[in-house]
Chains A and B, each alone.
Chain A
Amino acid sequence: MRFADFTAFDLVLLAQGLGVNIALFLATSLIGLVIGIAWAIVRYYRVPVLSEVITFVSELLKNSPVLVQLFLVFFGLPGLFHIRVAPVTAATITLSANTAAFIYVIAVSAIESIGRDQIEPARVFGLTRWQVLRHVLAPQAAAFAVGPLIALLVNQLQVTSLISVIGVVDLTKIGNILNMRTLKPFVVWTAVGLLYYAAAKLVALLGTRLENRLRAHSAWRGL
């Protein structure tokens, strides 16, 4: 066996790399989900100033490349504040914020998709704005949002490959190293691609299950 061969052990290395991507994906998705929904609630209550600030920030995050945001956090912040930002920290901050921006948009449009005909009966029976959100709007909005949300998450999983650029040893980075060692780009990148595919497919599959559960009893079933 030559040093340049692609071996079964290399697959283990790649799988470990995928583990880094998945861990980062789970962490940033969770943080992004919490922040994005919190922002949407602020917007639901029409908190003055804060609502506008959130919309502006989310616009910035949505309309600029994630890679640029990553560079800004990893290279820009240390330069400006004279702090050390570890690659994993920079990746977590950037991807969480980016995910939050998209989840904010999905949540807001989902809430706004539920008509006044649902809010009005709840209000005349005396439910508070919070109770209306909690019991009437949120469950219906969740069923509406789950489709776009899964699409977003599948994409965000793949976006985690960008962190290899700032030196986090993830699947793409390991692929890069193996590529240079074996000089078999087709084999290496096919293996890397398939691993991303498998992970993304898993996310999509779990998402479809959740979607079916949330929409089980809705009137628009079968549309």
Chain B
Amino acid sequence: MIKVENVKKAFGQTTVLDGIDLTIEPGEVVSILGSSGSGKSTLIRCINGLEKLNGGQITVDEFDVGKPRELAEARKRSGTVFQLFNLYPHMTVLGNITLAPIEVLKKPRAEAEATALALLESVGLGSRADAYPAQLSGGQRQRVGICRALAMQPRYLLLDEVTSALDPEMTAEVLAILAKLAQEGTTMLFVTHEVEFARQISDRIVFLDKGRLLVDLPTQEFFAADGGMAQPRVAQFLSKMRKD
């Protein structure tokens, strides 16, 4: 269980997260929606310990992200996929995926590579294991990014706008993989602008606005007229998104 309690985060004078409470149970798929600058990405970066909190507490399976000793354990339980892929350009696809399993989980190389190849196969990139990131398309890179996170066998997958740097065609190929993962019961926290996709795969939808958690409802209720849509900010946001 990921537990976010009254989390506050500011960059200088700018408050980005203003008292967020959120709980994610194992097996859940939770999407986070909200306008740019509402704090969605920052929330993910707080959960995986890339940002220090100004207040509140985040625990991943009881391990406090704010305590250096527990952070390592917390990080082992979550895997992050980045908006801009952030692959290592000097390593092959296989090297990108096996680095952390070999170095952190101390897996034998052969085992790590077998796992990586199986993962690559499952996302349709079995033949590109020896390619370098620069030789791949954006969609392929992000699929490698997903494999890199999955190779650590995380209990929670944190996805930070993983399709926002991709064109619609590449977006579709990445979303297809995420849909499959959701079906298989992977726990996911999914920051996105893909409203329709979020609606299809999420158990719950959370709406952030100016660093505050405005709505946290099961997907059906979120889109119901007397549920999330009753909030003017949500209705406004969704109507804008649909127009695009």
- Which A residues form the contact surface with B (CB < 8 A)? 117-118, 120-127, 131, 135-136, 139-140, 143, 217-219, 221
13 sample A-B contacts, Cβ–Cβ < 8 Å, listed by A number? A120-B86, A121-B86, A122-B99, A122-B100, A125-B100, A126-B76, A126-B100, A126-B104, A127-B103, A140-B88, A140-B90, A218-B89, A219-B89
Q: List B contacts of A118 (CB < 8 A).
A: 86, 88
A124/B80 in contact, CB under 8 A: yes
Contact with A along B64-92 (1 / 0, CB 8 A): 00000000100110111010101111100
The reply to whether B79 and A125 form a contact with Cβ atoms under 8 Å apart is yes
Q: List residues 172-189 of chain B with CB under 8 A from any CB of chain A.
A: none
Q: CB distance A121 to B134 under 8 Å?
A: no
Q: Closest approach, in angstroms, between the C-beta of B37 and any C-beta of chain A?
A: 20
**Residues on the A chain within 8 Å of B84, using CB:** 117
Q: CA separation between A49 and B26, bound complex, in Å?
A: 47
Roughly how many angstroms separate A191 CA and B103 CA in the complex, as a whole number?
Answer: 54
Within 8 A of A (CB), among B131-167: 132-134, 148-149, 152
- A118-B88, A140-B90 known; A124 and B48 CB under 8 Å? yes
The residue from A126, A143, A218 contacting B72, defined by CB atoms under 8 A apart: A126
Query: Do A217 and B134 touch across chains, with their CB atoms under 8 A apart?
Result: yes
Q: Is the interface of A mostly helix, strand, loop or mixed?
A: helix
User: Which residues from A are CB-within-8-Å of B48?
Assistant: 124
Docked Cα-Cα span, A22 to B78, in Å, equals 54
Chain B residues near A221 (CB, 8 Å)? 134
Distance from A223 Cβ to chain B, minimum over Cβ atoms (Å): 12
Closest CB of chain B to A46's CB: distance in Å? 15
Chain B residues engaging chain A, CB cutoff 8 angstroms: 48-50, 72, 75-76, 78-80, 82, 84, 86-90, 99-100, 103-104, 132-134, 148-149, 152
Most buried by A among B72, B86, B104, B132: B86
B133: chain A residues within 8 A (beta carbon): 219
A217-B132, A217-B134 known; A124+B49 contact, CB < 8 A: yes
The answer to whether A125 and B90 touch across the interface, beta carbons within 8 angstroms, is no
Q: Give Cα A123–Cα B65 distance, bound, in whole angstroms.
A: 13
Complex-state Cα separation, A122 to B48, whole angstroms: 12
Chain A hits for B86, CB < 8 A: 117-118, 120-121
Contact A143 B90, beta carbon cutoff 8 Å:
yes
For B148, what are the chain A residues with a Cβ–Cβ distance below 8 Å? 121, 125
In chain A, what residue has the closest Cβ to B105? A126
Across the interface, do B90 and A139 meet the contact criterion of CB distance under 8 Å?
A: yes
CA distance A120 to B85 in the complex (A): 11
Given A120-B50, A125-B75, A217 and B90 contact (CB-CB distance below 8 Å): yes
Q: Which residues of A contact B103 (CB under 8 A)?
A: 127, 131, 135
B67 to A: closest C-beta gap in Å: 15
The residue of chain A having its C-beta at the shortest distance from the C-beta of B149 within the complex is: A125
| B90 in contact with A124 (CB, 8 Å) | no
Cβ–Cβ contact B82 & A120, under 8 A: yes
User: What 10 A-B pairs have minimum CB-CB distances, sorted nearest first?
Assistant: A125-B100, A126-B104, A219-B134, A217-B132, A121-B86, A124-B48, A219-B89, A124-B80, A139-B90, A117-B86
